Structure 1
Amino acid sequence: MNSNYAKIIVKGSPITKSNFKLFNAQGRAILPKNSGLYHDRYAIYEEQIALEARAQNPNVIFTESLIAVLKVYYKSEKRHPDTINITKSIFDGIEKSGIIINDVQIRKIITEEYYDKENPRFELELYAESCYSLDFSIKEKEIKGTPVIFKPSINSQQKNVKKTPSQKTSASSTNVCAICSKPLKEGDYISADNGKTLICKSCFKKAF
């Protein structure tokens, strides 16, 4: 049945898969879900979103363009995924639920970040664009608040430091497989999570 509004609430700490990518021998990105490894959680989370979305909105199918309001509640204010990347993981799950045909239908979106240590979750509201419009405004505060300051992460600082050829050789010689812990040879491994996770091709073939 068509609808002009839906609300979806999925409990649990929101996660993103944008920084964790594995590629098969053909160079195609894959998202394993039954390898028994840590990164299975991304595919499992996507399926959880699909099941919850469908259960909370039975028979709802949006076929037109949509306005989305997404509120993400993290457990920790200091450690959580980038909110700008979280939407992809969520809408992939929403698309899988069948409530929307394709995430390209989301033409306007507002994303808000909150913190709830006891009840982390996301709340998503979808509005049919033929029935609703979106208005927002930004106003200067009469009473200024305390700035929320962000500092460069250690990883970003390390990326900006140029390594000498000898440093690169030394670093690569210490790499080991995340599964079997054996030293890795140049070109004989698969990298993921922006290079943080390395898996030898032998373990990769066994797992996937």
Structure 2
Amino acid sequence: MNKSYAKIMVKGSPITKSNFKLFNISGRAILPCNSGKYHDRYALYEEQIAYECRSQNPGTVISESLIAVLKVYYKSKKRHPDTSNITKSIFDGIEKSGLIINDAQIRKIIIEEFYDESNPRFELELFGESHYNLKYNIFENDIIEEEINYSSPPNRKKLYNNNKKIQTSREQSSNPRCQICGKILQANEIISADKGNTLICKNCFNKLFK
């Protein structure tokens, strides 16, 4: 068995870690894994990647530096995560499987984005640099292809400021309440989620994510 090569294919729409985080009052990111809620999806996806990785490459452990070729197949052209953010999610699961020692082993990476409505997935190939090298060419098309154009992303800073203004206005007009138990919240016990749109007390937070 070639210990300098591995291939992994995981079915399902790829997701990113950033979409499943909660934040406490100090701004620290929290990634739930056993709350029974929507935010558990990332932890489950990471486990799926680790399981498929081990099943498809039994007994393989690669410790050397690597070249990675990642092909991501989304269900939709219009609604999908940023491909640049996908790699962290995928390599977290690969590292967890034990196939590689550390995702810092990835020294060269090529990422390609495709679309497959009936079979979203990602396919990853890992090549040990002791056995493989990488060459690539960028060339002009003989026939001009149809452009894939993108619209400007929303102004996140503006949205953040608007959310802060709304939250401040609410706090000024009335005492904020926990959106689970309804308790009036003191400043030192507020935990926010969903970019500040959801406020819960520490007691409810502990019940959800302990």
TM-score bracket, shorter-length normalisation: 0.7 to 0.9
The match for 2:201 is 200
Q: CA deviation at 1:45?
A: 0.4
The match for 1:141 is 141
- Opposite residue 114 of structure 2, the aligned amino acid is Y
Residues paired across the two proteins, number: 207
Q: Return the structure number with greater helix share.
A: 2
Moved over 3 A (4+): 22-30, 153-160, 165-168, 171-188, 191-200
**In structure 2, distance between residues paired with 1:120 and 1:166:** 39
**101-110 vs 151-160, greater mean Cα deviation:** 151-160
CA contact (8 A) 2:20 2:40 kept: no
- Opposite residue 67 of structure 2, the aligned amino acid is I
1:108-187 paired onto structure 2 within 5 Å: 108-154=108-154, 156=156, 158-159=158-159, 169-170=168-169, 179-180=180-181, 186=187
Give the match's secondary structure for 2:107: strand
- Opposite residue 80 of structure 1, the aligned amino acid is H
**184-193 vs 110-119, greater mean Cα deviation:** 184-193
Deviations 1:66-105 (A, max 9, x none): 0000111111111111110011010000000000000000
**Where does structure 1 lack aligned partners over 5 or more consecutive residues?**
none
Q: CA deviation at 1:171?
A: 5.6
CA contact (8 A) 1:2 1:62 kept: no
The match for 1:96 is 96
CA contact (8 A) 1:64 1:128 kept: yes
- Opposite residue 22 of structure 2, the aligned amino acid is L
CA contact (8 A) 1:19 1:194 kept: no
Give the match's secondary structure for 1:79: coil
The match for 2:63 is 63
Q: CA deviation at 1:34?
A: 1.3
The match for 2:78 is 78
The match for 1:7 is 7
Task: Go from structure 1 to structure 2 and tell me whether the alpha carbon gap of 1:197 and 1:116 turns closer, same or farther (over 3 Å shift).
Answer: farther
**In structure 1, distance between residues paired with 2:32 and 2:198:** 15
Task: Go from structure 1 to structure 2 and tell me whether the alpha carbon gap of 1:187 and 1:147 turns closer, same or farther (over 3 Å shift).
Answer: farther
**In structure 1, distance between residues paired with 2:110 and 2:155:** 29
Q: CA deviation at 1:20?
A: 3.4
CA contact (8 A) 1:10 1:49 kept: yes
Q: CA deviation at 1:134?
A: 0.8
CA contact (8 A) 1:2 1:61 kept: no
**Where does structure 2 lack aligned partners over 5 or more consecutive residues?**
none
**169-178 vs 47-56, greater mean Cα deviation:** 169-178
- Opposite residue 45 of structure 1, the aligned amino acid is Y
**123-132 vs 134-143, greater mean Cα deviation:** 134-143
Give the match's secondary structure for 1:71: strand
Give the match's secondary structure for 1:18: helix
Task: Go from structure 1 to structure 2 and tell me whether the alpha carbon gap of 1:159 and 1:64 turns closer, same or farther (over 3 Å shift).
Answer: same
Identity over aligned pairs, percent:
64
Deviations 1:22-54 (A, max 9, x none): 357997644222111100010010001000000
**15-24 vs 82-91, greater mean Cα deviation:** 15-24
